[in-house]
Amino acid sequence: MKVIRAKSAGFCWGVERAVQVAREEAKGGMKTVYTDGPLIHNKQMMQALSQEDIREVGDYQSKKDLNLEDKVDGRESVVVVRAHGISPQRREYLKSLGLPFKDGTCPDVGIIAGKVKMHAEKGYDIVIFGDPEHPEVIGLLGYAKGQGHVISSQEEIPHLPKLGKKVAMVSQSTMFTHEFRNLSNEMARICPELVVFDTICGATKERQSDLIHLVEQGADAIVVIGGKHSANTRKLAKLASSHGRPTFHVETAEDLRDHEFTSFDVVGVTAGASTPEFIIRSVCDKLETFNSGENS
């Protein structure tokens, strides 16, 4: 079977940076690193990092109180903030734990937080396009000074509370660009002085564009690799399905079944921003062993 891989598949630079921050702090297991929730949304990578004594604590949404040791087996400990970022209130709490503190927040997410904070301080209502349960959005809301509102679809716009004259709109970094454009256009109709910031990150846009290119290259089916709870990976799978291609969202090569691919000659492969290279390579290698439709 022929396998074509998207150029952008794999770690985005924000995730790569967060992993680098944690590994530099761990020093090969010489120090214990606590991450407030999963550093990245890939359990296989988190398991690999645990071998360097990088430990996920807390919960997915960074809401639980933590009981951290300053030393584990005589090794010093440090807290690392994950790529999705946290609210200023959570940041203050983590720093109060008394351990060294390192920030692994993706700089792109930091820019969004800065825009939310600046406009909230100027009296703007803040509308965030995203998943209200996602840790990035939860973190961003913390900068909105109680004036933040989250919407995930156009149907939710009429249910927003009465907004003031000054409204600013941003997006979670991993959303669909066309959905954000449609939502911001509708919001502008309701709020004539709306200020819109396209905060969907470049890596997300590139992944979405590369996925369309896989279809144009003749992919009969699309395999999307990444955690089942990864927002950007789920978005990629949804986008592939919308282009009429059978889509398989897998976490590892173990999820692939030979009989499901017997009718395809060419399979396109992409991966979410938190998917490590070793998993992508193993999926591509296994797919290449399958018989294509023309040989079955």
Final residue in a domain of this structure, among 151, 177, 196: 196
132-146, 206-220, 230-244: least confidently modelled range: 230-244
The 10 Å CB-count burial string (b at 16+, else e) for 79-117 is bbbbbbbbbeebbeebeebebeeebbbbebbeebbebbb
What is the three-class DSSP state of 46?
helix
pLDDT digits 0-9 by tens, 152-205: 999 999 999 999 999 999 999 999 999 999 999 999 999 999 999 999 999 999
| CATH number of the domain bearing residue 161 | 3.40.1010.20
On the CB side of 171, how many CA atoms lie within 13 Å of its CA?
Answer: 24
Distance of CA 99 to the CA centre of its chain: 27
As to burial, measured by CB atoms within 10 angstroms (0-12 exposed, 13-18 middle, 19+ buried), residue 57 is middle
Residues 115, 63 share a domain: no
* Model confidence at 89: pLDDT above 60: yes
* Model confidence at 292: pLDDT above 80: no
Residues 167, 123 share a domain: yes
Tally of domains within the chain = 3
Under the banding of pLDDT at 50, 70 and 90, the label for residue 104 is: very high
Final residue in a domain of this structure, among 196, 218, 234: 196
Tell me whether residue 136 is one of the annotated catalytic residues.
yes
Residues 208, 156 share a domain: no
> What average pLDDT does the structure give for the chain?
94
Instruction: Name the residue with tokens 């990578």.
Output: 45
User: What is the reported pLDDT for 294?
Assistant: 57
Residues 99, 37 share a domain: yes
Percent of the residues in the chain that have a pLDDT greater than 70, as a whole number: 98
Contact 237, 197 (CB under 8 A): no
Residues 206, 154 share a domain: no
Tell me the two tokens of residue 283.
């999926």
Q: Pick the catalytic residue: 25, 52, 56, 136?
A: 136
User: What is the reported pLDDT for 295?
Assistant: 55
Residues 281, 244 share a domain: yes
User: What is the reported pLDDT for 74?
Assistant: 86
Final residue in a domain of this structure, among 177, 196, 215: 196
Residues 92, 121 share a domain: no
212-216, 220-224, 251-255, 289-293: least confidently modelled range: 289-293
Contact 226, 272 (CB under 8 A): yes
Task: Average the pLDDT over 78-99 and give the result.
Answer: 95
Type of residue found at 209: S
Residues 176, 157 share a domain: yes
Angstrom CA distances, 294 to 131, 213, 218, 261, 266, stand at: 42, 23, 15, 11, 10
Task: Average the pLDDT over 56-83 and give the result.
Answer: 91
Residues 257, 183 share a domain: no
Tell me the two tokens of residue 196.
């819109």
In degrees and rounded to multiples of 5, residue 225 shows phi and psi of: -105, 130
Residues 97, 21 share a domain: yes
Under the banding of pLDDT at 50, 70 and 90, the label for residue 293 is: low
Q: Which of 61-70, 107-116, 236-245 has the highest mean pLDDT?
A: 107-116
Task: Average the pLDDT over 33-42 and give the result.
Answer: 90
Select from 64, 56, 98 the least CA-distant residue to 81.
56
| CATH number of the domain bearing residue 54 | 3.40.50.11270
Region for 25 from its dihedrals, namely left if φ exceeds 0, alpha if ψ lies in -120 to 50, beta otherwise: alpha
Residues 184, 130 share a domain: yes
Under the banding of pLDDT at 50, 70 and 90, the label for residue 232 is: confident
User: What is the reported pLDDT for 105?
Assistant: 96
- Give the helix/strand (H/E) hosting 187: helix 177-190
Residues 231, 167 share a domain: no
Residue 272's domain spans which residues? 2-10+202-295
Under the banding of pLDDT at 50, 70 and 90, the label for residue 146 is: very high
